[in-house]
Chain A
Protein backbone atom coordinates (compact mmCIF):
# COMPACT_ATOMS: atom_id res chain seq x y z
CA UNK A 1 0.00 0.00 0.00
CA UNK A 2 2.77 2.40 1.03
CA UNK A 3 4.76 1.49 -2.07
CA UNK A 4 1.72 2.08 -4.23
CA UNK A 5 1.07 5.50 -2.70
CA UNK A 6 4.69 6.53 -3.19
CA UNK A 7 4.42 5.53 -6.87
CA UNK A 8 1.19 7.50 -7.38
CA UNK A 9 2.71 10.69 -5.95
CA UNK A 10 5.40 10.54 -8.65
CA UNK A 11 9.08 9.83 -8.07
CA UNK A 12 11.65 12.63 -8.37
CA UNK A 13 12.93 11.15 -11.62
CA UNK A 14 9.46 11.13 -13.15
CA UNK A 15 8.87 14.75 -12.12
CA UNK A 16 12.16 15.82 -13.72
CA UNK A 17 11.09 14.03 -16.91
CA UNK A 18 7.72 15.85 -16.82
CA UNK A 19 9.41 19.24 -16.36
CA UNK A 20 11.84 18.54 -19.21
CA UNK A 21 8.91 17.36 -21.35
CA UNK A 22 7.04 20.62 -20.69
CA UNK A 23 10.11 22.67 -21.63
CA UNK A 24 10.59 20.65 -24.84
CA UNK A 25 6.90 21.10 -25.78
CA UNK A 26 7.17 24.88 -25.31
CA UNK A 27 10.41 25.09 -27.31
CA UNK A 28 8.68 23.08 -30.06
CA UNK A 29 5.76 25.51 -30.09
CA UNK A 30 8.17 28.47 -30.34
CA UNK A 31 9.99 26.82 -33.26
CA UNK A 32 6.67 26.05 -35.00
CA UNK A 33 5.56 29.67 -34.55
CA UNK A 34 8.60 30.87 -36.52
CA UNK A 35 11.36 30.81 -33.91
CA UNK A 36 12.20 32.97 -30.93
CA UNK A 37 11.22 36.60 -31.59
CA UNK A 38 13.77 39.16 -30.50
CA UNK A 39 12.66 42.51 -29.03
CA UNK A 40 11.47 44.96 -31.68
CA UNK A 41 13.98 47.63 -32.74
CA UNK A 42 13.21 51.32 -32.22
CA UNK A 43 10.92 52.78 -34.88
CA UNK A 44 12.26 55.55 -37.11
CA UNK A 45 10.88 57.31 -40.19
CA UNK A 46 13.41 55.35 -42.24
CA UNK A 47 12.33 52.03 -40.73
CA UNK A 48 8.68 52.83 -41.47
CA UNK A 49 9.52 53.16 -45.16
CA UNK A 50 10.29 49.44 -45.10
CA UNK A 51 7.64 46.72 -44.99
CA UNK A 52 9.12 43.56 -43.49
CA UNK A 53 12.58 44.69 -44.63
CA UNK A 54 11.56 45.50 -48.21
CA UNK A 55 10.64 48.92 -49.61
CA UNK A 56 6.94 49.62 -49.03
CA UNK A 57 4.72 50.63 -51.96
CA UNK A 58 5.47 54.28 -52.62
CA UNK A 59 5.09 57.01 -55.20
CA UNK A 60 6.75 60.34 -55.79
CA UNK A 61 10.32 61.49 -56.05
CA UNK A 62 12.84 59.61 -53.88
CA UNK A 63 14.42 63.03 -53.22
CA UNK A 64 11.21 64.70 -52.04
CA UNK A 65 11.80 66.73 -48.86
CA UNK A 66 8.69 65.40 -47.12
CA UNK A 67 7.74 61.77 -46.60
CA UNK A 68 4.10 60.92 -45.86
CA UNK A 69 3.48 57.37 -44.62
CA UNK A 70 -0.12 56.18 -44.70
CA UNK A 71 -1.55 53.29 -42.65
CA UNK A 72 -4.93 52.11 -43.90
CA UNK A 73 -7.35 49.21 -43.69
CA UNK A 74 -9.49 48.11 -46.65
CA UNK A 75 -12.52 47.67 -44.37
CA UNK A 76 -12.30 51.17 -42.87
CA UNK A 77 -14.74 53.70 -44.31
CA UNK A 78 -12.58 56.62 -43.15
CA UNK A 79 -9.72 55.16 -45.23
CA UNK A 80 -12.10 54.89 -48.19
CA UNK A 81 -13.17 58.51 -47.76
CA UNK A 82 -9.57 59.70 -47.50
CA UNK A 83 -8.34 57.69 -50.47
CA UNK A 84 -11.18 58.69 -52.79
CA UNK A 85 -11.38 62.38 -51.86
CA UNK A 86 -8.33 63.86 -50.13
CA UNK A 87 -5.54 61.61 -51.46
CA UNK A 88 -5.99 62.55 -55.16
CA UNK A 89 -5.72 66.27 -54.28
CA UNK A 90 -2.60 65.74 -52.17
CA UNK A 91 -1.11 63.66 -54.98
CA UNK A 92 -1.75 66.37 -57.56
CA UNK A 93 -0.51 69.25 -55.39
CA UNK A 94 2.43 67.67 -53.56
CA UNK A 95 3.46 64.26 -54.94
CA UNK A 96 3.35 65.21 -58.61
CA UNK A 97 5.15 68.47 -57.74
CA UNK A 98 8.05 66.48 -56.28
CA UNK A 99 7.54 67.81 -52.76
CA UNK A 100 6.19 64.67 -51.15
CA UNK A 101 7.05 61.00 -51.37
CA UNK A 102 4.01 58.98 -50.42
CA UNK A 103 4.44 55.58 -48.74
CA UNK A 104 1.68 53.08 -47.96
CA UNK A 105 1.48 50.49 -45.19
CA UNK A 106 -1.38 48.01 -45.00
CA UNK A 107 -2.72 47.96 -41.47
CA UNK A 108 -5.40 45.39 -40.69
CA UNK A 109 -7.51 46.45 -37.74
CA UNK A 110 -9.44 43.19 -37.87
CA UNK A 111 -8.46 39.61 -38.65
CA UNK A 112 -11.08 39.57 -41.42
CA UNK A 113 -9.34 42.37 -43.31
CA UNK A 114 -5.96 40.60 -43.46
CA UNK A 115 -6.76 38.76 -46.77
CA UNK A 116 -7.39 42.07 -48.60
CA UNK A 117 -4.14 43.49 -47.22
CA UNK A 118 -2.28 40.37 -48.36
CA UNK A 119 -3.91 40.55 -51.80
CA UNK A 120 -2.77 44.16 -52.19
CA UNK A 121 0.80 43.00 -51.58
CA UNK A 122 0.30 40.34 -54.28
CA UNK A 123 -0.64 43.20 -56.62
CA UNK A 124 2.47 45.07 -55.42
CA UNK A 125 4.56 42.11 -56.61
CA UNK A 126 3.33 42.90 -60.13
CA UNK A 127 3.91 46.64 -59.69
CA UNK A 128 0.21 47.50 -59.45
CA UNK A 129 -0.28 48.19 -55.76
CA UNK A 130 -1.74 51.65 -56.22
CA UNK A 131 -4.23 50.48 -58.83
CA UNK A 132 -5.37 47.72 -56.46
CA UNK A 133 -5.47 50.16 -53.54
CA UNK A 134 -7.77 52.52 -55.41
CA UNK A 135 -9.96 49.74 -56.81
CA UNK A 136 -10.39 48.20 -53.34
CA UNK A 137 -11.66 51.49 -51.96
CA UNK A 138 -13.89 52.09 -54.99
CA UNK A 139 -15.62 48.75 -54.33
CA UNK A 140 -15.78 49.33 -50.57
CA UNK A 141 -18.92 48.04 -48.86
CA UNK A 142 -19.61 49.08 -45.30
CA UNK A 143 -19.58 46.19 -42.82
CA UNK A 144 -18.42 43.49 -45.21
CA UNK A 145 -15.03 42.14 -46.09
CA UNK A 146 -13.93 41.49 -49.67
CA UNK A 147 -13.18 37.87 -50.52
CA UNK A 148 -10.99 36.08 -53.07
CA UNK A 149 -13.52 36.49 -55.89
CA UNK A 150 -13.47 40.27 -55.31
CA UNK A 151 -9.67 40.31 -55.44
CA UNK A 152 -9.70 38.34 -58.70
CA UNK A 153 -12.31 40.68 -60.13
CA UNK A 154 -10.19 43.72 -59.23
CA UNK A 155 -7.11 41.98 -60.63
CA UNK A 156 -8.91 41.65 -63.96
CA UNK A 157 -10.03 45.30 -63.92
CA UNK A 158 -6.53 46.65 -63.23
CA UNK A 159 -4.84 44.21 -65.63
CA UNK A 160 -2.85 41.91 -63.38
CA UNK A 161 -1.48 38.57 -64.51
CA UNK A 162 -4.44 36.52 -63.26
CA UNK A 163 -2.70 33.16 -62.83
CA UNK A 164 0.22 34.58 -60.91
CA UNK A 165 -2.02 36.78 -58.75
CA UNK A 166 -4.39 33.89 -57.97
CA UNK A 167 -1.47 31.68 -56.99
CA UNK A 168 -0.19 34.39 -54.66
CA UNK A 169 -3.60 34.94 -53.05
CA UNK A 170 -4.43 31.23 -52.72
CA UNK A 171 -1.06 30.36 -51.21
CA UNK A 172 -1.45 33.02 -48.52
CA UNK A 173 2.26 33.79 -48.80
CA UNK A 174 1.69 37.54 -48.34
CA UNK A 175 -0.33 37.13 -45.14
CA UNK A 176 2.78 37.23 -42.98
CA UNK A 177 4.04 40.39 -44.73
CA UNK A 178 0.63 42.03 -44.25
CA UNK A 179 0.69 41.15 -40.55
CA UNK A 180 4.24 42.47 -40.15
CA UNK A 181 3.26 45.69 -41.95
CA UNK A 182 0.54 46.27 -39.33
CA UNK A 183 2.87 45.28 -36.51
CA UNK A 184 5.34 47.96 -37.62
CA UNK A 185 2.54 50.51 -37.33
CA UNK A 186 1.52 49.28 -33.88
CA UNK A 187 5.11 49.64 -32.68
CA UNK A 188 5.13 53.21 -34.03
CA UNK A 189 1.96 54.07 -32.09
CA UNK A 190 -0.72 53.56 -34.75
CA UNK A 191 -3.99 52.49 -33.09
CA UNK A 192 -6.50 53.36 -35.78
CA UNK A 193 -6.85 54.07 -39.48
CA UNK A 194 -6.18 56.06 -41.47
CA UNK A 195 -3.04 57.27 -39.70
CA UNK A 196 -0.16 59.19 -41.20
CA UNK A 197 3.42 60.02 -40.35
CA UNK A 198 4.40 63.30 -41.99
CA UNK A 199 8.18 63.56 -41.65
CA UNK A 200 7.83 61.55 -38.46
CA UNK A 201 4.88 63.48 -36.93
CA UNK A 202 1.79 61.36 -36.34
CA UNK A 203 -1.50 62.61 -37.78
CA UNK A 204 -4.51 60.49 -36.84
CA UNK A 205 -7.64 60.13 -38.91
CA UNK A 206 -9.15 61.44 -42.11
CA UNK A 207 -8.78 65.03 -40.99
CA UNK A 208 -9.93 67.91 -43.25
CA UNK A 209 -7.80 68.65 -46.32
CA UNK A 210 -6.70 71.99 -44.84
CA UNK A 211 -5.14 70.24 -41.87
CA UNK A 212 -3.17 67.97 -44.20
CA UNK A 213 -2.02 71.03 -46.12
CA UNK A 214 -0.98 72.88 -42.96
CA UNK A 215 0.99 69.87 -41.67
CA UNK A 216 2.72 69.20 -44.99
CA UNK A 217 3.45 72.90 -45.57
CA UNK A 218 4.94 73.13 -42.07
CA UNK A 219 7.13 70.11 -42.82
CA UNK A 220 8.22 71.70 -46.11
CA UNK A 221 8.99 75.00 -44.34
CA UNK A 222 11.05 73.11 -41.79
CA UNK A 223 13.41 71.77 -44.45
Chain B
Protein backbone atom coordinates (compact mmCIF):
# COMPACT_ATOMS: atom_id res chain seq x y z
CA UNK B 1 0.00 0.00 0.00
CA UNK B 2 1.58 3.33 -1.05
CA UNK B 3 2.37 6.03 1.51
CA UNK B 4 0.43 8.54 -0.58
CA UNK B 5 -2.71 6.38 -0.55
CA UNK B 6 -2.38 5.86 3.21
CA UNK B 7 -1.95 9.60 3.71
CA UNK B 8 -5.08 10.27 1.65
CA UNK B 9 -6.99 7.68 3.66
CA UNK B 10 -5.86 9.35 6.91
CA UNK B 11 -6.86 12.78 5.57
CA UNK B 12 -10.29 11.43 4.62
CA UNK B 13 -10.71 9.97 8.12
CA UNK B 14 -9.70 13.33 9.62
CA UNK B 15 -12.23 15.16 7.44
CA UNK B 16 -15.00 12.80 8.59
CA UNK B 17 -13.97 13.19 12.25
CA UNK B 18 -13.80 16.99 11.84
CA UNK B 19 -17.32 17.02 10.41
CA UNK B 20 -18.48 14.99 13.42
CA UNK B 21 -16.65 17.47 15.68
CA UNK B 22 -18.43 20.41 14.04
CA UNK B 23 -21.79 18.72 14.69
CA UNK B 24 -20.93 18.08 18.36
CA UNK B 25 -19.69 21.67 18.80
CA UNK B 26 -22.92 22.93 17.19
CA UNK B 27 -24.93 20.88 19.69
CA UNK B 28 -22.87 22.34 22.53
CA UNK B 29 -23.42 25.93 21.35
CA UNK B 30 -27.16 25.35 20.99
CA UNK B 31 -27.90 24.40 24.60
CA UNK B 32 -30.57 26.88 25.50
CA UNK B 33 -33.69 27.18 27.54
CA UNK B 34 -35.34 23.80 27.61
CA UNK B 35 -37.53 23.76 30.67
CA UNK B 36 -38.03 20.46 32.38
CA UNK B 37 -39.97 20.30 35.59
CA UNK B 38 -41.15 17.76 38.04
CA UNK B 39 -44.07 18.68 40.27
CA UNK B 40 -41.98 21.07 42.31
CA UNK B 41 -38.53 21.32 40.76
CA UNK B 42 -37.19 23.10 37.66
CA UNK B 43 -34.22 21.43 36.02
CA UNK B 44 -31.95 22.37 33.13
CA UNK B 45 -30.56 20.20 30.38
CA UNK B 46 -28.17 18.36 32.70
CA UNK B 47 -24.38 18.34 32.78
CA UNK B 48 -23.90 20.25 29.51
CA UNK B 49 -26.12 23.12 30.69
CA UNK B 50 -24.25 23.15 34.01
CA UNK B 51 -20.91 23.36 32.20
CA UNK B 52 -22.29 25.99 29.79
CA UNK B 53 -23.46 28.23 32.65
CA UNK B 54 -20.16 27.91 34.54
CA UNK B 55 -17.48 30.62 34.52
CA UNK B 56 -15.30 28.29 32.41
CA UNK B 57 -17.65 28.21 29.41
CA UNK B 58 -16.10 31.25 27.69
CA UNK B 59 -12.63 32.54 26.88
CA UNK B 60 -12.47 36.33 26.58
CA UNK B 61 -16.22 36.35 26.01
CA UNK B 62 -16.13 33.71 23.24
CA UNK B 63 -17.93 30.42 23.99
CA UNK B 64 -15.44 27.54 24.22
CA UNK B 65 -17.76 25.41 22.07
CA UNK B 66 -17.51 28.02 19.30
CA UNK B 67 -13.70 27.96 19.49
CA UNK B 68 -13.89 24.16 19.24
CA UNK B 69 -16.07 24.46 16.16
CA UNK B 70 -13.49 26.78 14.59
CA UNK B 71 -10.73 24.29 15.36
CA UNK B 72 -12.66 21.43 13.73
CA UNK B 73 -13.37 23.51 10.61
CA UNK B 74 -9.67 24.43 10.35
CA UNK B 75 -8.56 20.80 10.83
CA UNK B 76 -11.03 19.60 8.20
CA UNK B 77 -9.81 22.24 5.74
CA UNK B 78 -6.15 21.42 6.42
CA UNK B 79 -6.82 17.69 6.04
CA UNK B 80 -8.43 18.40 2.68
CA UNK B 81 -5.47 20.60 1.71
CA UNK B 82 -3.04 17.82 2.62
CA UNK B 83 -4.57 15.62 -0.10
CA UNK B 84 -3.53 18.14 -2.75
CA UNK B 85 -0.22 16.93 -4.09
CA UNK B 86 2.53 19.49 -4.34
CA UNK B 87 3.58 20.50 -7.82
CA UNK B 88 5.89 23.33 -9.00
CA UNK B 89 3.17 25.30 -10.78
CA UNK B 90 1.17 25.60 -7.56
CA UNK B 91 3.99 27.65 -6.01
CA UNK B 92 3.26 28.64 -2.39
CA UNK B 93 -0.06 26.82 -2.37
CA UNK B 94 1.76 23.60 -3.24
CA UNK B 95 4.23 24.15 -0.39
CA UNK B 96 1.32 24.80 1.99
CA UNK B 97 -0.30 21.54 0.91
CA UNK B 98 2.95 19.74 1.73
CA UNK B 99 2.94 21.07 5.27
CA UNK B 100 -0.80 20.80 5.96
CA UNK B 101 -0.49 17.44 7.74
CA UNK B 102 1.95 19.07 10.18
CA UNK B 103 -0.59 21.81 10.87
CA UNK B 104 -3.25 19.15 11.52
CA UNK B 105 -0.86 17.47 13.96
CA UNK B 106 -0.19 20.75 15.82
CA UNK B 107 -3.79 21.95 15.90
CA UNK B 108 -5.18 18.59 17.03
CA UNK B 109 -2.46 18.34 19.71
CA UNK B 110 -3.53 21.75 21.06
CA UNK B 111 -7.13 20.48 20.91
CA UNK B 112 -6.29 17.33 22.86
CA UNK B 113 -4.36 19.25 25.53
CA UNK B 114 -7.15 21.80 25.99
CA UNK B 115 -9.79 19.04 26.03
CA UNK B 116 -7.78 17.35 28.80
CA UNK B 117 -7.86 20.61 30.78
CA UNK B 118 -11.63 20.96 30.21
CA UNK B 119 -12.18 17.37 31.36
CA UNK B 120 -10.14 18.14 34.50
CA UNK B 121 -12.37 21.20 35.08
CA UNK B 122 -15.52 19.10 34.73
CA UNK B 123 -14.38 16.42 37.17
CA UNK B 124 -12.52 18.39 39.83
CA UNK B 125 -13.70 22.01 39.61
CA UNK B 126 -17.26 22.12 38.22
CA UNK B 127 -18.11 18.58 39.37
CA UNK B 128 -20.49 17.96 36.50
CA UNK B 129 -19.86 15.92 33.37
CA UNK B 130 -21.12 17.03 29.96
CA UNK B 131 -21.38 13.90 27.75
CA UNK B 132 -21.07 15.94 24.54
CA UNK B 133 -17.83 17.49 25.82
CA UNK B 134 -16.50 13.97 26.37
CA UNK B 135 -17.51 12.98 22.82
CA UNK B 136 -15.72 16.06 21.47
CA UNK B 137 -12.57 15.21 23.46
CA UNK B 138 -12.62 11.67 22.05
CA UNK B 139 -13.02 12.95 18.47
CA UNK B 140 -10.12 15.37 18.90
CA UNK B 141 -7.98 12.57 20.39
CA UNK B 142 -8.80 10.30 17.44
CA UNK B 143 -7.78 13.04 14.99
CA UNK B 144 -4.50 13.59 16.84
CA UNK B 145 -3.67 9.85 16.99
CA UNK B 146 -4.36 9.47 13.25
CA UNK B 147 -2.21 12.53 12.59
CA UNK B 148 0.68 11.21 14.73
CA UNK B 149 0.55 7.79 13.02
CA UNK B 150 0.52 9.52 9.62
CA UNK B 151 3.49 11.65 10.61
CA UNK B 152 5.53 8.59 11.70
CA UNK B 153 4.62 6.76 8.48
CA UNK B 154 5.67 9.73 6.33
CA UNK B 155 9.00 10.04 8.17
CA UNK B 156 9.71 6.32 7.74
CA UNK B 157 8.87 6.49 4.04
CA UNK B 158 11.09 9.56 3.61
CA UNK B 159 13.94 7.82 5.42
CA UNK B 160 13.60 4.75 3.17
CA UNK B 161 13.66 6.91 0.04
CA UNK B 162 16.72 8.77 1.33
CA UNK B 163 18.51 5.47 2.06
CA UNK B 164 17.69 3.91 -1.30
CA UNK B 165 20.43 4.20 -4.00
Chain A contacts of B121 at CB under 8 A?
37
Q: With the chains together, A35 CA to B133 CA distance in Å?
A: 20
Interface range, B side? 35 or more
Chain A contact residues: helix, strand, loop or mixed: helix
B49 in complex: contacting residue of A19, A109, A193, A205, CB < 8 Å: A109
Q: With the chains together, A152 CA to B111 CA distance in Å?
A: 42
- A23–B53 touching, CB < 8 Å: no
Q: With the chains together, A34 CA to B50 CA distance in Å?
A: 18
Q: How far is the CB of B141 from chain A (nearest CB, A)?
A: 14
Q: With the chains together, A130 CA to B75 CA distance in Å?
A: 50
Q: Per-residue 0/1 for B133-165: is the Cβ within 8 Å of any A Cβ (1 yes, 0 no)?
A: 000000000000000000100110111011010
B101-155 residues with Cβ-Cβ distance < 8 A to A are 101-102, 105-107, 109-110, 113-114, 117, 121, 124-128, 151, 154-155
Interface range, A side? 35 or more
Q: A77-B37, A179-B53, A183-B54 are in contact. Are A8 and B99 (CB under 8 A)?
A: yes
Query: Is A182 in contact with chain B by the CB < 8 A criterion?
Result: yes
Q: Per-residue 0/1 for B14-40: is the Cβ within 8 Å of any A Cβ (1 yes, 0 no)?
A: 000000000000000001111101111
- A8–B40 touching, CB < 8 Å: no
Q: A109-B53, A182-B54, A183-B55 are in contact. Are A40 and B124 (CB under 8 A)?
A: yes
Q: A32-B59, A32-B60 are in contact. Are A109 and B44 (CB under 8 A)?
A: yes
Chain B contacts of A193 at CB under 8 A?
41-42
16 contacts between A and B (CB under 8 A): A2-B164, A6-B158, A8-B158, A18-B102, A21-B110, A26-B113, A29-B67, A33-B64, A75-B42, A78-B37, A78-B42, A109-B49, A110-B53, A192-B44, A205-B41, A207-B40
7 new A-B pairs (CB below 8 Å) besides A34-B56, A110-B53, A112-B33? A40-B125, A109-B49, A110-B32, A111-B49, A179-B54, A206-B40, A207-B40
